[in-house]
Amino acid sequence: MNRLFLGFFVFSGVLSLGTQTASWQPSPGHTQLPIWPGAVPDAQSVPGPEFATTKGNKPVAGRPWLEVDNVSRPTMTVYSPEGKNTGTAVVVFPGGGYVRLAIDLEGTEVCDWLTSAGITCVLLKYRVPSLPYDWHCDCRPNGLVISTLALEDAQRTIGLVRFHTKE
């Protein structure tokens, strides 16, 4: 009986590892670009390498979603509209509580919708976890610490988008 339980847990562990990939890459036709030349400023250690995991055990709208964790090298991916181009660009910041990124649910799907309306979309894969952010703390009047790493990445990306407006 104990061997049966041990075998079940080993099998379950192997199945859960099968949904994890090295890191998130955009779909073909889209290029991921680093937002910082050389070293990333204020780099902090992360618990391990970047990885993407399909979250099927907590479906949203009845389907699994893709989570990206341990981002230490922020990137941006440009999604250009097919057909008419309105000349408008939007930077998309996928949610995840500064701990992870819901890269498809709140990222690529938003970009697909925006590009279908003729809007250029820039998807930012910002640094997470972004310490010292802690929604449990009582650090400021509103109980939150400023998430400086994600803010630096956001400011840099918006600056790059504005600088390359003509392109």
User: How many angstroms separate the CA atoms of 139 and 134, rounded?
Assistant: 9
CA dist 70 → 22, 47, 52, 135, 138 (Å): 11, 7, 9, 18, 25
Beta strand ranges found along the chain (DSSP E): 20-21, 32-34, 51-60, 63-69, 75-79, 89-92, 100-102, 120-125
Q: Give the total number of structural domains in the chain.
A: 1
User: Tokens for 81?
Assistant: 């509209």
Residue 9 inside a domain? The answer is no
pLDDT tens, residue by residue, 88-123: 999 999 998 888 999 999 999 999 999 999 999 999
Residue 6 inside a domain? The answer is no
pLDDT tens, residue by residue, 116-144: 999 999 999 999 986 655 556 656 555 55
User: How many angstroms separate the CA atoms of 167 and 162, rounded?
Assistant: 10
Q: Which amino acid is at 44?
A: Q
Residue 110 inside a domain? The answer is yes
Q: Which domain holds residue 137?
A: 19-163
pTM greater than 0.95: no
Residue 132 inside a domain? The answer is yes
Alpha-helical regions (H) of 20-147: 109-116
